[in-house]
Chain A
Amino acid sequence: MFALYVVWPIGQSLALSFYQWDGLSDPTYIGWDNYIELWYDPTFLVALKNNLIWLVLYMLAVPLGLGIALLLNQTVTGIRLIKSLFFFPFVISQVVVGLVFAWFYDPNNGLLNIVLAWFGFDPVSILSDEDLVTYGIIAAGLWPQTAYCMILYLTGLNSVSPDVVEAGKIDGAQGFRMLWSVVLPQLRPATFIAVVVTVIGALRSFDLIAIMTQGGPYQQSQVLAYYMYEQALSEYGYRMGYGSAIAAVLFAIMMVYIVGFLVKMYRDERGL
Chain B
Amino acid sequence: MNKNLTAIAAAALLAGTAQAGTLVINTDDQNPAPKAAFEYAIDSFKAANPDVTVEWNNFDREGYKTRIRNFLTADAPDVATWYPGNRMAPFVDAGLFMDISDVWAAEGLDTEMASTQATMTRDGKQYMIPYSYYQWGIYYRKDLFDKVGVTVPETWDELLAASATLKENGITPFTIGSKFKWTTGGWFDYLNLRSNGYEFHMDLTSGKVPYTDSRVQAVFDRWDELVGNGYFIDNHATYNWQEGMAPMVQGDAAMYLIGNFAVAPFKEAGLTEDQLGFFQFPEITKGMPMAEDAPADAFFIPAGAKNVEDAKKFMAHIASPEVQTEMNKILGQLPPSSAAQVNDDPYLNAGFKMLSNAYALAQFYDRDAPAAMAKAGMDGFQEYMVKPDRRQAILENLDRVVDRVYK
- Identify the A interface with B (CB < 8 A): 22-25, 37, 40, 42, 106-108, 125, 127-128, 130, 213-214, 216-219, 233, 235-239
B390 CB to closest chain A CB (Å) equals 9
- A24-B73, A107-B238, A125-B234 are contacts. A238–B383 as well, Cβ < 8 Å? no
Enumerate 13 A-B pairs (CB-CB under 8 Å) in ascending A order.
A22-B90, A23-B69, A24-B96, A107-B234, A107-B238, A125-B235, A125-B238, A128-B179, A128-B238, A214-B180, A216-B237, A218-B380, A236-B371
- State whether the Cβ of B374 lies closer than 8 Å to any Cβ in chain A: yes
A216: which B residues are within 8 A, CB to CB?
179, 181, 237, 379, 382
Q: How far is the CA of A234 from the CA of B365 in the complex (A)?
A: 17
- 17 extra interface residue pairs, beta carbon distance < 8 Å, beyond A24-B73, A25-B90, A218-B379: A107-B234, A108-B235, A127-B237, A128-B179, A130-B386, A130-B387, A213-B179, A216-B179, A217-B382, A217-B383, A218-B237, A235-B62, A236-B366, A236-B375, A237-B372, A237-B375, A238-B90
Within 8 A of A (CB), among B94-119: 94, 96
Q: How far is the CA of A128 from the CA of B237 in the complex (A)?
A: 5
A196 CB to closest chain B CB (Å) equals 32
Q: How far is the CA of A229 from the CA of B397 in the complex (A)?
A: 22
- A216-B181, A235-B65, A236-B375 are contacts. A128–B235 as well, Cβ < 8 Å? yes
B94: which A residues are within 8 A, CB to CB?
22, 24-25
Once the chains bind, are B93 and A217 in contact (CB under 8 Å)? Answer: no
A24: which B residues are within 8 A, CB to CB?
69, 73, 90-91, 94, 96
Q: How far is the CA of A184 from the CA of B374 in the complex (A)?
A: 53
B214: which A residues are within 8 A, CB to CB?
none
- A125-B238, A128-B238, A237-B371 are contacts. A214–B179 as well, Cβ < 8 Å? yes
A-B pair count, CB < 8 Å, reads 69
A37: which B residues are within 8 A, CB to CB?
404
- State whether the Cβ of B17 lies closer than 8 Å to any Cβ in chain A: no
B237: which A residues are within 8 A, CB to CB?
125, 127-128, 216-218
- State whether the Cβ of B66 lies closer than 8 Å to any Cβ in chain A: yes
A228 CB to closest chain B CB (Å) equals 14
| Residue of A whose beta carbon sits closest to that of B382 | A218
| Residue of A whose beta carbon sits closest to that of B91 | A24
Once the chains bind, are B371 and A238 in contact (CB under 8 Å)? Answer: yes
A41 CB to closest chain B CB (Å) equals 9
Once the chains bind, are A128 and B374 in contact (CB under 8 Å)? Answer: no
Q: How far is the CA of A23 from the CA of B72 in the complex (A)?
A: 12
Contact partner of B372 (CB less than 8 A), chosen from A130, A213, A239, is A239
- A24-B73, A238-B371 are contacts. A127–B238 as well, Cβ < 8 Å? yes
Which of A24, A214, A219 has the most CB atoms of chain B within a 10 A radius of its CB?
A24
- A23-B69, A218-B383, A219-B379 are contacts. A236–B372 as well, Cβ < 8 Å? yes
State which size class the interface on B falls in: 20 to 34
Which of A23, A233, A236 has the most CB atoms of chain B within a 10 A radius of its CB?
A236
A72 CB to closest chain B CB (Å) equals 36
A55 CB to closest chain B CB (Å) equals 25
Which of B181, B238, B379 has the most CB atoms of chain A within a 10 A radius of its CB?
B238
Q: How far is the CA of A127 from the CA of B240 in the complex (A)?
A: 12
Q: How far is the CA of A109 from the CA of B66 in the complex (A)?
A: 35
A54 CB to closest chain B CB (Å) equals 21
| Residue of A whose beta carbon sits closest to that of B390 | A218
Q: How far is the CA of A245 from the CA of B91 in the complex (A)?
A: 24
B404: which A residues are within 8 A, CB to CB?
37
Once the chains bind, are A25 and B93 in contact (CB under 8 Å)? Answer: yes
Q: How far is the CA of A22 from the CA of B91 in the complex (A)?
A: 10
Q: How far is the CA of A22 from the CA of B96 in the complex (A)?
A: 14
Once the chains bind, are B397 and A107 in contact (CB under 8 Å)? Answer: no
Q: How far is the CA of A241 from the CA of B94 in the complex (A)?
A: 17
B211 CB to closest chain A CB (Å) equals 15
Once the chains bind, are B397 and A42 in contact (CB under 8 Å)? Answer: yes
Q: How far is the CA of A177 from the CA of B66 in the complex (A)?
A: 57
Contact partner of A106 (CB less than 8 A), chosen from B91, B238, B386, is B238
Q: How far is the CA of A37 from the CA of B404 in the complex (A)?
A: 9
Closest 8 pairs (CB-CB, A-B): A218-B383, A236-B375, A128-B237, A24-B94, A125-B235, A217-B237, A128-B238, A236-B371
| Residue of A whose beta carbon sits closest to that of B377 | A236
B391 CB to closest chain A CB (Å) equals 13
A233: which B residues are within 8 A, CB to CB?
66
Q: How far is the CA of A236 from the CA of B83 in the complex (A)?
A: 13
Q: How far is the CA of A125 from the CA of B371 in the complex (A)?
A: 29
Q: How far is the CA of A78 from the CA of B32 in the complex (A)?
A: 49
A149 CB to closest chain B CB (Å) equals 30
B236: which A residues are within 8 A, CB to CB?
128
A219: which B residues are within 8 A, CB to CB?
379
A238: which B residues are within 8 A, CB to CB?
69, 90, 371
- A24-B90, A236-B366 are contacts. A217–B69 as well, Cβ < 8 Å? no
A125: which B residues are within 8 A, CB to CB?
234-235, 237-238
A137 CB to closest chain B CB (Å) equals 13
